[in-house]
Chain A
């Protein structure tokens, strides 16, 4: 049911190419284009708070897409994504300050460096899977965290590392309004790239590895190569996300890239929908907005006379933390395929309305 195409009657496809477009219908394509163009006006309409939320969605969303390529499309697992995100952040800052490479170049370069590191840690992935792989990637998380705190030459050690703002033709993108465009460009670019990757031969190989590795191997898909490649691409995305994060803040500290962050990335792809590119973005938006909404709830309670006592507001602060865990559990029970699936069902509902089938 959910896999039913949403194509209107009469929209026939006569070639494989037509059947494999990024956007299912012309309307969706135009709609997406209009949204992107409209997004360019956002800094003129919304304040810094909304902009910072969008910027968060973009850098976390890019990294989350990387994890979805690995987990959702290739069927591997990684508990070290937060550390790769951090590696990208430090790598970009390091390349910029040590070698004076312009930031616009260090961001993609940091992606490639992170890719190399990710592939190094992904090496065992070629041989092991499941729980064993999860633990191997967990090791990557701890090793990298320790590396950030120790490697003074690379990350500035405990003192952290400075990251210059992105500059292009002498213009520094150092405000929320200007950085928004960098974030928007990166988000659109990386998501289109992700969509295209999944339509390519390599993308199909990933899915084949995920669906049944034995069948894939029999078909001639090189398991080791694609598992490792998936790790590489996933880390590349994490590195780009991390680099954007670094140059947005202007400062990178080793404290941020903990196991919790890796788990948060996993939560994003699970809530959004494993193996769905749209879903990744939905999950990321959800995870970024959830604490803000809950904080808003705490704020509302604080406005009431009985609610403005430390006991109640502190209690709600704990509830805020627990709610994130609860939401993940509820999603696993009631919507294991994530927000992307729910969205599909909403579309189906309108298509078939007023009939149930």
Chain B
């Protein structure tokens, strides 16, 4: 009996010693949900590339102060049940500390789970109601204390565009009230800023017209363009993305509408300009960072990160890629903070997001905009950079129009 006890103690000691390196956090797990084959794959793939390359690059260059980032990318094709199953798997099997997410449907489905499990989620859904962590605004459906995203919310970027439009109307010396129309599918993602943006447009003196519904899939939208034409809309906000936007621009050119298109963050990129060709004219869209060809300090690091999946360095990335990189790097900085302040756990990573004000991840100066998250306000970015795109005989010309900084109004929190 005595021998057995001795043996058991020795074994327990050996196990504890062997377990030590795990406790010292050699690696932490980050889940990555991506849509590369579903309805939002048009931009989902590029964003996912940014996230994957950034995670790999961090690992290749020493991880989080020596702690490697284990990660797995799952293409959930925008199917909520698969997103939940992946989340549960990562949570129970891999001891996930943070997640890089994607769409509105899955991010919202996971709000309660991640809040309970204390796992910060960095989504690419910029829905305004993810910005209220404590449910302070009565309009907030559900407090989202563990949800973050890099960028201005859909509502805020639409407000920024409306501000620009108001100024543009003055400069053009337009007569009477300018008319504003929301164009997009009747779907949570395009609809996310609809009410918020319309309210602000009215505040700024726009006449808000009835929204025009176009499907998320490409199609013939001449009928919708005719109704835009007959209502004499001056400014049209596009809530969709990819092929649907292309079809809209082409249909409206055929019909001969005379309105200023303003796209949401996913609705304007080089690929659309190249595909639309001569049809695109003075197309306004927001970004949350620079373009591939821009000469800013942080682009050197982005180019290095890009070499992870493109060793030759020939590929030029669209700005969605940069947002993926920024999303990962804010998480990285929060993890660095967490490591120094009690270890990389979900809760500490979240606290790491609140630790600094107006911060840009090291090495990405000029790429990621300075952001501030607080325990009461998850509107990290309130700046919207507005660009104008044109296509001239094979050459895509993109120029910066203005920068709009939105105030952090209490009634806009979570709306």
Contacts and interface: CB of A to CB of B under 8 A. Distances in A.
Interface of B: 36-37, 45, 49, 52, 72-75, 77-82, 84-86, 88-89, 91-93, 103-105, 108-109, 111-113, 116, 129, 141-142, 186-189, 191-192, 194, 309
Contacts of A254: 187-188
A317 B77 CA distance: 9
A249 B109 contact: yes
Given A149-B188, A149-B191, A253-B188, A314 B82 contact: no
A146 interface: yes
A149 B37 contact: no
Contact of A250 (B86, B88, B112): B112
16 contacts: A47-B92, A51-B88, A156-B141, A158-B187, A159-B141, A249-B113, A251-B109, A253-B109, A255-B104, A255-B189, A292-B85, A299-B72, A310-B52, A310-B309, A317-B37, A320-B75
A58 interface: no
A176 B188 contact: no
Contacts of A159: 129, 141, 188, 192
A348 interface: no
Contact of A321 (B37, B74, B81): B37
Query: What 9 pairs between A and B have smallest CB-CB spacing?
Result: A158-B191, A317-B75, A250-B112, A255-B105, A48-B92, A47-B92, A52-B88, A49-B89, A158-B188
A162 B72 contact: no
Contacts, number: 110
A157 interface: yes
A51 B80 CA distance: 16
B91 A48 contact: yes
Contacts of B78: 255
Nearest to B35: A317
B188 A251 contact: no
B104 A249 contact: no
Contacts of A310: 49, 52, 309
A150 interface: yes
B82 A149 contact: no
B412 to A, nearest CB: 14
Contact of B187 (A149, A313, A317): A149
A200 to B, nearest CB: 32
Contact of A52 (B52, B85, B141, B142): B85
A255 B187 contact: yes
A334 interface: no
Given A146-B186, A249-B109, 17 more contacts: A49-B93, A52-B84, A149-B191, A156-B141, A162-B142, A174-B112, A174-B116, A251-B109, A251-B111, A253-B188, A255-B78, A255-B103, A255-B188, A256-B105, A314-B36, A317-B77, A320-B75
A161 B141 contact: yes
Interface in A291-338: 291-292, 295, 299, 302, 309-310, 313-314, 317-318, 320-321
Contacts of A251: 108-109, 111-112, 141-142
A160 B142 CA distance: 10
A240 B394 CA distance: 56
A106 interface: no
A86 to B, nearest CB: 11
A256 B37 contact: no
Nearest to A250: B112
A158 B105 contact: no
B198 to A, nearest CB: 13
A56 interface: yes
A250 B93 CA distance: 23
Contacts of A158: 187-188, 191-192, 194
Contacts of B89: 49
A120 interface: no
B186 A150 contact: yes
A256 B80 contact: yes
A53 interface: yes
A175 B104 CA distance: 23
Contacts of A52: 84-85, 88
Given A49-B85, A49-B88, A149 B186 contact: yes
Interface-central residue, A47, A160, A251, A317, by most chain B CB under 10 Å: A317
Contacts of B309: 309-310
A291 B75 CA distance: 10
A309 to B, nearest CB: 8
A56 B105 contact: no
Contacts of A255: 78, 80, 103-105, 187-189
Contacts of B142: 162, 250-251
Contacts of B191: 149, 157-158
A313 B188 contact: no
